[in-house]
Chain A
Amino acid sequence: DTAVSQTPKYLVTQMGNDKSIKCEQNLGHDTMYWYKQDSKKFLKIMFSYNNKELIINETVPNRFSPKSPDKAHLNLHINSLELGDSAVYFCASSQGSGGAFFGQGTRLTVV
């Protein structure tokens, strides 16, 4: 069983389009995250939810909107995609002070 699964794995889209990435965790964790990894492998947190409540919201363009329908799901919707949004987006979950478990990533390419 996959602990943290995100879909799609690859996403190629044109500038200006709107797209969503979905994430689900079956670990029973209370906290979920979205991270962005750039071409140099640098990881930056974007958002974090704890029990469906937004607790971390980094300086991210408001074109990015997370949604957590329940504590097992955290989706990321991106409006008006730009070339600079091309990256790998990782969903993760954790419980308490433990380490985070990551999904396989979604490679977004904006052309």
Chain B
Amino acid sequence: GDSVTQMEGPVTLSEEAFLTINCTYTATGYPSLFWYVQYPGEGLQLLLKATKADDKGSNKGFEATYRKETTSFHLEKGSVQVSDSAVYFCALRGGYGGATNKLIFGTGTLLAVQP
């Protein structure tokens, strides 16, 4: 079945460091890919998405590129801030990305940014 694998955390960085959180997926068809962020005590917020190969999603300085050849969707940010500390989830909507397909999440990666 469809699945998402992301790097285990916690990831601890100093402010202004470069961030990469790895995410790979297994899916049939042409899934849509997403990154979500969850701040402490809150629900998940959609951070960015990509719906087809080579698409780049970007938001708030974060970027991720849909790589079909490596089945990856790694999250990057050039300079993290303390306020970026949160849990980040990679997710996919399988099949052909339609509403009847499940939104499947990775296990989440805790990012802690120190001043």
CA distance A104 to B51 in the complex (A): 26
Chain B residues near A105: list those with CB within 8 A.
42-43
CB atoms of B46 and A31 under 8 A apart:
no
Q: What's the minimum C-beta distance from A103 to chain B, rounded to whole angstroms?
A: 5
Using CB atoms, name the residue of chain A closest to B87.
Answer: A41
B102: interface (CB < 8 Å): yes
Using CB atoms, name the residue of chain A closest to B9.
Answer: A41
**For this complex, into which size category does the number of interface residues on chain B fall?**
20 to 34
In chain A between 38 and 60, which residues have their CB closer than 8 angstroms to a CB of chain B?
40-43, 45, 48, 50, 55-56
Chain B residues near A30: list those with CB within 8 A.
99
Binds A, one of B11-19, B20-28, B69-77, B104-112: B104-112
- Give the number of A-B contacts (CB < 8 Å): 64
Question: Interface SS of chain B: helix, strand, loop or mixed?
Answer: strand
Chain B residues near A96: list those with CB within 8 A.
98-99
**For this complex, into which size category does the number of interface residues on chain A fall?**
20 to 34
Contact of A42 among B38, B46, B99, B108 (CB under 8 A): B108
Chain A residues near B36: list those with CB within 8 A.
99, 102
CB atoms of B99 and A43 under 8 A apart:
no
Q: State whether A97 and B51 are in contact (beta carbons under 8 Å apart), knowing that A41-B107, A102-B44 are contacts in the complex.
A: yes
CA distance A105 to B87 in the complex (A): 15
CB atoms of A48 and B102 under 8 A apart:
yes
CB atoms of B34 and A99 under 8 A apart:
yes
Q: What's the minimum C-beta distance from A79 to chain B, rounded to whole angstroms?
A: 25
Using CB atoms, name the residue of chain A closest to B108.
Answer: A41
Residues on A lying within 8 angstroms of B by beta carbon are: 4, 30-31, 33, 40-43, 45, 48, 50, 55-56, 90, 92, 94-105
